[in-house]
A and B are shown apart, each in its own frame.
Chain A
Amino acid sequence: MMEPGAVRADGSRIRVALAVMGLLAVIAPPAAHAYIDPMSGSIVFQVVVAGILGALLTIRRWWDSAVRLVRGVWARVAGR
């Protein structure tokens, strides 16, 4: 479970999002099978944004476990 507020975008992430958006602007949107109209622009946007947020989440988890590992090792070394 991720703590709330963990996924946040800063200026550089936004620039990345903008770049990907620009790239996608030349690709046409997918058809969505739903009774509400999700709007193709919303689907394309969601796929990009969620992809970035998901990647950030993965990186954060790696980072957190790396930090935990280093801390654990350090605690053992320091405890000796």
Chain B
Amino acid sequence: MTLDRLPASYRDPSGFLFRHQGTLYRYVAPPYAPHYDALSSSGLYEELTAAGLLIPHAEVPSWDDATRSAHRILAPEPVPFVSYPYEWCFSELKAAALATLEIQKRAFARGMILKDASAYNIQFRRGRPILIDTLSFEVYREGAPWIAYRQFCEHFLAPLMLMARVHADAGRLLREFLDGIPLDVAARVLGVRGLVSPAAFIHVRMHARSIRHFAATDAAPPPRLGSMTPRALLALVESLAAAVGGLQWRPHATQWADYEQTHGYSTETLEAKQRVVGEWLARVRPSTIWDLGANTGAFSRMAARGGASALAFDADPGAVELNYRQVAAAAEAGVLPLVMDLANPSPSLGWNLAERMSLVERGPADAVLALALVHHLAIGHNLPLELIASFLARLGRHLLIEFVPKSDPQAQRLLRSRADIFGAYERASFERAFEAHFRVVERVEFPGSSRSVYSMVRDV
């Protein structure tokens, strides 16, 4: 019998993930045994899981010939939602980078080392970054360099530098460069900014140059050159930690103001809207909710307080950044802010288009919240209401959606500089489009506002 391997789990010969009767397991291959055993016997597993830096697992008995061939079968604690680095804001990627280096330092203190530093090995669980690849550790051999140095620079340091120094949207490059942003590309984009900062100059620019130089030679390698002292290795890791720690990005002051007011209506209307959302949450009681166009996550937070696990999606990296800062500052467990452009959501990516899942593949959620969103898609992206309805129907069973008519000041802003080609954008066609997929449970109007909120459910 062969095991049902996860499509993304093919790189590392130490083992792989597979599914059996709906549960996720990790196969530990026999050649990796000394390293796996050292993880436990060194006390590192205990330390990292206690610190919330490594996903806990249970060792389970094998059940057939295929599983008996393993050194161990592990049942890792499941991660509620798998997110990808190209969906993270600056501070999420930075937190993931610092967690990776912290793990490396703690491993090193116990005679082990990270053999990879992939950003995809980090996930956000209860608002905090955690390493999910239990097989990332190796027994440290004195003199060995840090094999994962280049990977760390490409997955973490270079994208963070681009986000902090060039543009916050540069994180999206990770969607194209699935193995991390090549250092020569990063060096080119950084330009003179890569000369000013010592960390950028050394770890990106010179590093890229060295890679390029040696890629062009094919002489046989002398065996001893790759040797370095433990102190040198530690200094390298400290230098990377200082470089990452020193990177800052702040959304513009104007954006702050925008986020503060978030909407286009009065306090009374806002309170009425909060009441509607509160009542809907109490009735639907979702365990997972996707808040689309979440801004800084006010409504995601309401859902999380009710016990739901909320994903707060927004296309604006500034809004996601501010949202994540709240999550980190208050150690919130129930909200995960992610950068997502709904007009171009995360697709299936990688080898055989199966390595990284599309947004839709990672659903559906119990409930979807789409407040102040439809006019952005319909007017901002020329999307017909029928297409918006059929897309949202794929994301979740319950839907709370706001219709913003063309007369609304926010909709008018979108029409300010363009011809009004949206004759079909009106309430009746909105209702028709959504009723093709959903049953309307309730429609709420707000006094003093032309907007309305619909609670809907998909019956099939």
B-binding residues in A (CB < 8 A): 2, 4-10, 14, 17-18, 21, 25, 27-32, 34-36, 38-47, 49-51, 53-58
Contacts and interface: CB of A to CB of B under 8 A. Distances in A.
A39 B211 contact: yes
Contacts, number: 152
A9 B234 contact: no
Contacts of B221: 28-31, 40
Given A4-B241, A43-B226, A47-B226, 10 more contacts: A7-B235, A9-B202, A28-B220, A29-B226, A40-B214, A41-B214, A43-B149, A54-B231, A54-B232, A56-B235
Contact of A17 (B11, B147, B202, B217): B202
Contact of A36 (B116, B215, B227): B116
B447 interface: no
18 contacts: A21-B206, A27-B225, A28-B221, A30-B224, A30-B226, A32-B226, A35-B13, A36-B116, A36-B147, A39-B150, A39-B211, A39-B214, A43-B226, A44-B214, A45-B210, A46-B236, A54-B228, A54-B235
Nearest to B203: A49
A4 B198 contact: no
Nearest to A25: B213
Interface of B: 11-14, 115-116, 145-151, 198, 201-203, 206-207, 209-215, 217, 219-229, 231-236, 238-239, 241-242, 245-246
B198 A9 contact: yes
B310 to A, nearest CB: 33
A45 B211 contact: yes
A4 B222 contact: no
Helix, strand, loop or mixed for chain B's interface? helix
A10 to B, nearest CB: 7
A38 B242 contact: no
Contacts of B226: 29-32, 43-44, 47
A53 B146 CA distance: 14
Nearest to B146: A46
B202 A49 contact: yes
A3 to B, nearest CB: 9
The 6 closest A-B CB pairs, nearest first, are A41-B214, A54-B232, A28-B219, A30-B226, A45-B210, A41-B211
A11 B145 CA distance: 25
A5 B199 CA distance: 10
A50 B222 contact: no
Given A4-B245, A5-B242, A56-B235, A10 B212 contact: no
Contacts of A8: 198, 242
Given A28-B222, A39-B215, A47 B227 contact: yes
